[in-house]
Amino acid sequence: MLNISGIEEGYVIDHIRAGSCMKIYDALNLDKCEGEVAIIKNAKSGKLGKKDIIKIEGLVPLDLELLGFLDDNITVDIIKNNKIIEKKSLSLPDKITGVAVCRNPRCITSIEQGLKQTFILSDRKRHIYRCMYCEERL
């Protein structure tokens, strides 16, 4: 059984905006994760009021860029031997590939199906991404 208060080896994805843990769960494909996953909704948090937390047993590959793109307030604790060995704070990635689809019907990515959809961060403050090919806003 997964001990909710601590995991021997794995991740604690913390400071998830309350109510959005399932979005994170889906984005990280945690339904396919072999290890144990605990989802804690509406945990009390001094900073946010309420927050969600996801704990993952096992050091599975984790897409930190994608996490940062979804919510850059998230922090990820990496746990080994029951200790936090690293705390990662996330930031908006400069570039994100394969996550979103360009809405411009004339964009080359709409015509050439094989092309990877890539978006470039154009305004960090306002969280605005634009298509690498046509500059359509995400």
> H-type helices in the chain, by residue range?
21-27, 64-70, 108-111
Choose between 53 and 107: whose C-beta lies nearer to Zn ion.
Answer: 107
Please report, as residue ranges, which positions from 76 to 105 form the binding site for Zn ion (by CB under 5 A): 102, 104
Can you point out the beta strands (E) in the chain?
10-17, 37-45, 49-57, 75-80, 83-89, 95-97, 118-123, 128-131
Among 62, 70, 96, 131, binds Zn ion (CB under 5 A): 131
Complete edge-to-edge strand list for the sheet that includes strand 49-57: 37-45, 49-57, 10-17, 75-80, 83-89
Smallest separation (angstroms) from Zn ion to the CB of 91: 24
Which C-beta is closer to Zn ion: that of 11 or that of 119?
Answer: 119
Give the binding range for Zn ion (CB under 5 A) out of 12-20, 65-73, 77-85, 124-132. 124-132
Number of residues counted as binding Zn ion (CB under 5 A): 7
Is 122 near Zn ion (CB under 5 A)?
Answer: no
Q: How many CB atoms lie within 10 A of CB 18?
A: 15
Nearer to Zn ion, 12 or 131 (CB): 131
DSSP type of residue 40: E
Q: Which of 53, 107, 119, 129 binds Zn ion (CB under 5 A)?
A: 107
Judged by beta carbon, residue 73 or residue 104, the one nearer Zn ion is 104
- Give, in order, the Cα–Cα distances in Å from 134 to each of 33, 119, 128: 36, 10, 14
Binding site for Zn ion (CB under 5 A): 102, 104, 107, 131, 133-134, 136
